[in-house]
């Protein structure tokens, strides 16, 4: 877990503002039970077996009250770094947006000006082994993404070029 958080800590951020915050809950502890309690039933059905749950938050407002427009982007990058580190260490991370956003505020919100940005759950290295259907089938299914060409935007032609 320390290596995962270290990877997140070194992520780049706008003006090096480092807006990410983490609440780590290991299975068996009270915080884990509380976090499990705010997950959607579908997520709860598999996340209960995770080694740890991590609530990820972004400070969208700085200490002087100024807005941090890149906070969610930056925090997503930190989570990406954390996830890659986890895979490199033989673990798995599964992001979850499916949790009760009203419940989280009074109970686990670290401080004002902070928004939760999705919580990854650490889980065993061989996902699917203990999952009930249809979740196991979802894990076995081929992963799908658009071809790269479908993601490419076309830049507008510059005026100089149009004149020529
Ligand atoms: C912000 C975010 C929220 C997500 N929320 C959930 C969730 O609540 N439950 C879940 O099972 N997966 C969740 N996922 C995982 C996505 O469903 C998954 O990445 C997507 O289906 C693609 O699957 P793959 O990465 O295995 O190819 C979430 C992913 C992200 C990035």
Cα–Cα dist 142/79, whole Å: 23
Q: Domains (ranges, CATH) in the chain?
A: 2-163 (3.40.109.10)
Spell out the alpha helix ranges (H) of the chain. Answer: 2-9, 30-38, 41-47, 71-88, 101-108, 135-140, 159-163
118 lines ligand 1 (CB under 6 A): yes
Please report which confidence band the pLDDT of residue 19 belongs to, taking 50, 70 and 90 as the band edges.
Answer: very high
- pTM given for the model: 0.83
pLDDT 10s digits, 72-127: 999 999 999 999 999 999 999 999 999 987 775 544 454 555 555 444 455 454 54
User: In testing the pocket of ligand 1, which one of 40, 75, 95 has its CB within 8 Å of the most ligand atoms?
Assistant: 95
pLDDT score at 5: 98
Burial 133-146 (b: 16+ CB within 10 A, else e): eebeeeeeeeeeee
pLDDT 10s digits, 26-44: 999 999 999 999 999 999 9
């Amino acid at each position: 877990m320390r290596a995962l958080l270290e990877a997140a800590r070194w992520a780049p951020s706008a003006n090096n503002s480092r807006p990410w915050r983490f609440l780590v809950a290991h299975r068996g502890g009270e915080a884990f039970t509380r976090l499990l309690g705010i997950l959607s039933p579908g997520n709860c059905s598999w996340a209960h077996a995770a080694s740890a749950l991590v609530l990820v938050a972004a400070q969208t407002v700085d200490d002087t009250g100024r807005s941090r427009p890149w906070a969610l982007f930056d925090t997503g990058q930190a989570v990406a770094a954390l996830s890659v580190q986890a895979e490199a260490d033989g673990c798995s991370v599964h992001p979850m947006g499916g949790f009760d956003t009203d419940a989280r505020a009074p109970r686990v919100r670290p401080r004002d000006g902070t928004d939760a940005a999705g919580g990854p759950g650490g889980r065993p290295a061989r996902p699917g082994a203990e999952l009930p259907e249809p979740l196991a089938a979802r894990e076995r299914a081929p992963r799908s993404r658009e071809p790269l060409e479908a993601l490419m935007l076309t830049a507008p032609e510059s005026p100089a070029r149009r004149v020529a």
